[in-house]
Structure 1
Amino acid sequence: MGSELSAGLRLWRTRRRVSQLELAIRAGTTQRHVSFIESGRSAPGREMVIRLAESLQVPLRERNALLLAGGYAPAYDETPYDAPGLEAVRTALAAILEGHRPYPAVVVDRIGNLVLANHAFDVLTAGVAEHLLTAPVNLPRLLLDPAGLAPRIVNFAQWSWHVIDALTREAAQYPSPSSDALIQELIAVIPPRPAPDHLGFAVPLQLRSPDGDLHLVTTLTRFGTAIDVTVSELRMEAFLPADEPTARALRGLDRTMLQRV
């Protein structure tokens, strides 16, 4: 177990591009001690494993894995999203999403699977193939799959790589085989990467709609103080208007949907 813990800590330090000295300073120990831990010559205590993982911003799921590798019990609970213990979290998220109307907003997990969405999100999913709306609904796949939103995205060549780059950054922060597989799946169905203009790929999403083209920008929000694995892996993504015509169109589309309910 010790070698697995040593290798895991070394991997995360390398991934975060942190030197042994910098890690030692962050964790309140010595470079010599960090070196001994990484080489397997010293077995860190439970508190030291947590301090090192915290200093390296290791996700909670992987912190538990490091603790198990060191022979310690996990420190962070992993509560099912629909369990009574997360009722307050669910209520808060639902209120936040509702507050974003008439603008679409969703909550997804670490690989982009849909956990919660407001009614305005239906504006984006109109015309999407049924199999992409069957649980688990994956937001990146919904955006880029040919049977999803792809045909409606005016700037698809640029936007698709914006999504891929965001997924790649997310996978670096929260690595998993599922994330890597999703990235490869989506790269196979999008055009080759175009030459970036001076703004790169951080451009508004231009989406065709019955009320004309929508220009949308996205924001990402996380729980900053989560101590539960499930909560720590949730993120909220909101699609906000980049101009007044888009805001006006979204308000109109939202009113139309309410009349249909």
Structure 2
Amino acid sequence: MTITATSTVPQVGELLRSWRNRRRISQLELALRADSSARHISFIETGRSRPSEEMVLRLADHLDIPVRERNTLLMAAGYAPRYPERSLDDPALSDMRANLDVLLRGYEPFPALVVDGAYQVLAANRGVTMLLEGVAEELLVPPLNAMRLTLHPGGMAPRIRNFPEWRRHLLHQMDRQLSLMRSAPLRALYDEVVAYPLPDPCGEERASDRCAPYALPMLIEHDGRTLSFVSAIATFNTPLDVTVSELALETFLPADAETAAYLRGLTP
């Protein structure tokens, strides 16, 4: 007897139910949000009713489903993808890329970079160079990855004075992203970086011992002194492109006057 393996493609109802459970929303609550009925939502999830394209997008909006996954939902329902996925080098995104370059330069001398959904570094300003002092050459081979650069024992990790605190913060950030979206590249990256051994020596300084900040700072050594940065992340509002939806502009702002003065002193 010959057994043929078959792969099943998830139906739109299965996918919507999975996202609804992930968001911990009942059928009734989703129905109220989407101006529908719990019966209709149930019929969609069980495959007894095929949702319209407009309904798929409406439910995706109320479930806060990432743009990339909205295309998956549309195709599972028998519709064409709505959102394109273009490279940053695409002429259609030239104005956006130019604006990002302006923002990155505007933050100098403070470090700033643009990453994608798996923390690949797509652009950076000159301020980032200072953070990369002493990083192993193999980690600087493109494509650069911000999480590898920070957490790898051959990266920035040995110079981060509060490394255990900062590592917990970054791993929590990635874990939260994984709870909100399905991303195989991000999951693979998380599994990789969480297994890195701690650097030797491992900075055990606590941020609270140095100052009382309004946000957890990254304390990092540079040229014999400890600099203090707080991280801020900006994303695009209501993106209509898969690539743009996953972009994040991360800036490292001085957490104290001494760090700010030192960085300005580095600028010609």
How many residues are paired up?
Answer: 250
Gaps of 5+ in 2: 1-7, 199-203
Q: Identity of counterpart residues, as a percentage?
A: 46
Match of 1:156 among 159, 163, 166: 163
Shift of 1:175: 2.1
Alpha-carbon distance in 1 for matches of 2:132, 2:73: 40
1:31 to 2:38 alignment: yes
On the 8 A contact 1:123/1:253 being kept in 2, the answer is no
Shift of 1:2: 8.7
Q: TM-score scaled by structure 2?
A: 0.88
**Alignment-derived partner of residue 119 in structure 1:** 126
Q: For 1:81-120, list aligned pairs within 5 A.
A: 81-120=88-127
Query: Residue type of the partner of 2:88?
Result: Y
**Alignment-derived partner of residue 40 in structure 1:** 47
Match of 1:7 among 4, 9, 14: 14
**Alignment-derived partner of residue 85 in structure 2:** 78
Shift of 1:190: 4.5
1:189 to 2:196 alignment: yes
Query: Residue type of the partner of 1:181?
Result: A
On the 8 A contact 1:220/1:235 being kept in 2, the answer is yes
Match of 1:218 among 231, 247, 259: 231
* Compared CA separation, residues 217 and 41, structure 1 to 2 (3 A): same
Alpha-carbon distance in 2 for matches of 1:252, 1:176: 41
* Compared CA separation, residues 2 and 126, structure 1 to 2 (3 A): closer
Alpha-carbon distance in 1 for matches of 2:115, 2:45: 34
* Compared CA separation, residues 17 and 190, structure 1 to 2 (3 A): farther
Query: Residue type of the partner of 1:213?
Result: T
Cα root mean square deviation, aligned: 2.0
Q: TM-score scaled by structure 1?
A: 0.91
* Compared CA separation, residues 56 and 248, structure 1 to 2 (3 A): same
On the 8 A contact 2:162/2:207 being kept in 1, the answer is no
**Alignment-derived partner of residue 56 in structure 1:** 63
Gaps of 5+ in 1: 256-261
**Alignment-derived partner of residue 261 in structure 2:** 248
Match of 2:144 among 137, 145, 155: 137
Query: Residue type of the partner of 1:141?
Result: R
